[in-house]
Structure 1
Amino acid sequence: MKILNYALLVFLGGCSYGVVSTFVKLGYSEGFRLSEVTGSQYFFGAIMLWAIAIFVPKDRLKCKQWLTLAIGGIPMGLTGIFYNQALGYINASFAIILLLQFTWISMVLQYVFTKEAPSRKSFISTIIILVGSVLASGFLQTGIIFSFAGISWGILAAFSFAFFIFISGNTNIPVHPIYKSAIMTTGASLLIFICLPPLFLINGTLTDGLFMYGLLTGFFGSLVPPLLFNIGMPKVGGSLGTILSASELPTAVIMSTLVLHEAVTFLQWVGVVIILGGIAYPNFQGHKTTYLIKKNE
């Protein structure tokens, strides 16, 4: 398979993440609640991942390793709760912008826990992302009503997602990525079921339409991205992979515009482009240098 094909898989994985918020909003419009939408998303996501995990090599894990991976899924579950809660107050296009703040929050966490100072390029990238976020959020425009609760939940989602990425990157347990994803998603599901009791399993809402939304959000949010990333990321590398996976932002904005008919102004689109530029900046520089080195060899 050519490198372009692997890059396409990573790009599609990012797009898959981007459509989840639209299905969550549609579920809310049908009258389903946070506990039902979020619980069914992770419930079906875990089932589908375990169904695929049957066919992948399994390393023998100790109980402590199982527990570590399951606990590592807690920030993932919190992200689902916080993000879906935010979608109950604000537009899907605004919610994904808030979630994207995990890029600079992750950098702060890296410094706090590892004392690894951000590079000059990372600092510049953070400034670009913050500027783009101000434009994309619509704060500079008049007539736009903001929800303090929605913004708060969105920022909490960004923090929990940043913690999830930090924990995932620092968990060195030898296990197949799909198997690892299945265990962590199970841990996330258990947390959600504790916080939001899964009454949807017995109250009949699954047959009233929730089944479709749970299947769609679980498929696009918990199944497709890990599969495509696990195939494509090792081939394209983490730097280019970060750029490609940022496709979730424009995808979410486009979906919210076309499907949910949310208004997105030209200035907000400019902000989206600036955010993508901020994410791409340090990675593009690295790839340019690598290309020139290889060219001169």
Structure 2
Amino acid sequence: MSAKLQGIFLVLLGTISYGLPASLIKISKDSGLNEANILFFQFFFGCIVLGGIYFLTSQKKKLNEVTLTSSIKKRLVCAGTALALTNSFYFTSLEYVSVAVAAVMLMQSVWVTSILDFIFKRIIPNRMQIICIVMVLLGTVLTTNVLNTEVVISPLGLFLSFMSGVCYSVTIMVTNSLAPTASPFGRAFYVSLGAFIVICVIWGWAVKLSIILISLQWGVLIALFSIILPLLFFSTGMPKITAGIGGILSALELPASIIFAYLLLNEDITIVQFLGVMLILIAISSVHLIQKQS
């Protein structure tokens, strides 16, 4: 197998891994877990594993790899705030809306990022980017079924999942600007550490020690598919392929989430919703192709 095919395969595995946690969270809640226990142990195990990997890999520094200074480390820890809020909003929204709706609202980060770029960097979206944004919004309308008067969708669930998309946009913008050529494991560790600290502040009071055993089990599983495996697959596979292909493959997280929800949760998806998902997928892929060419 060529290096490029290996890269595509690894990134695809990382994307599939990202698509699973939402369904696992819904199942874990049915087992008696709450958001506080899930979030706490997810980042607890994530920090331990990422910290261990970072320590081992830092002994063999790669060529052109930037060393993380104490200043950068502090800023990465602070950036973890946005990641903590992303997960908090997203996990809580699953209490009110389906995985499909939550995943689609998370993907609003595509156009939210463009707005943030305009506000903070004065980067004006070009015509093709605006078309892609309109496609995402149209796909969102179709997927969430907001025009179907027979379907009742929780406004709170929509708001929470949308806010997860906003916070995800902030996470991407901040982390991508901080030592992008440094060790991905080091960057991920300090961001996760910051997120864990914020999770402790926000959710620490609600962590139930009475269900700690089952929390440990689900925490390991969710951390594995939401933090550890995706990072391992992406950090190994992304250097073997182009940024455009990597971005397009990463967009497959959306259909992966919906497929897992269908298989594990028996969540139905209509033809209209499927068309909406495909429209969003095409738009996201187009955005990454534009970024590659620019």
TM-score, normalization: structure 1? 0.91
Q: 2:120 aligns with which of 94, 113, 116?
A: 113
Are 1:184 and 2:191 an aligned pair? yes
Shift, 1:165, TM fit = 0.2
Are 1:205 and 2:206 an aligned pair? no
Q: Which residue of 2 aligns with 1:195?
A: 202
Shift, 1:63, TM fit = 3.1
Supply the AA of the counterpart residue of 1:214: G
Any idea what SS the aligned residue of 2:209 has?
coil
Paired with 1:177 and 1:66, the residues of 2 have a C-alpha distance of: 13
Change (3 A) 1:34 1:285: closer
Change (3 A) 1:238 1:198: farther
TM-score, normalization: structure 2? 0.91
Q: CA RMSD in A?
A: 2.0
Give matches, 1:243-258, under 5 Å.
243-258=248-263
Aligned residues: 287
Change (3 A) 1:169 1:60: closer
Are 1:46 and 2:53 an aligned pair? no
Contact conserved, 2:6 with 2:240, CA < 8 A, in 1? Answer: no
Paired with 1:32 and 1:223, the residues of 2 have a C-alpha distance of: 21
Q: Which runs of 5+ in 2 are unaligned?
A: 60-65
Are 1:131 and 2:138 an aligned pair? yes
Change (3 A) 1:64 1:286: closer
Paired with 1:77 and 1:238, the residues of 2 have a C-alpha distance of: 26
Contact conserved, 2:72 with 2:178, CA < 8 A, in 1? Answer: no
Shift, 1:253, TM fit = 0.5
Are 1:92 and 2:93 an aligned pair? no
Paired with 2:9 and 2:224, the residues of 1 have a C-alpha distance of: 18
Change (3 A) 1:171 1:247: same
Q: Which residue of 1 aligns with 2:17?
A: 16
Give matches, 1:1-297, under 5 Å.
1-57=2-58, 61-172=68-179, 175-197=182-204, 200=207, 203-207=209-213, 209-284=214-289
Q: Which runs of 5+ in 1 are unaligned?
A: 291-297
Contact conserved, 1:45 with 1:222, CA < 8 A, in 2? Answer: yes
Contact conserved, 2:108 with 2:165, CA < 8 A, in 1? Answer: yes
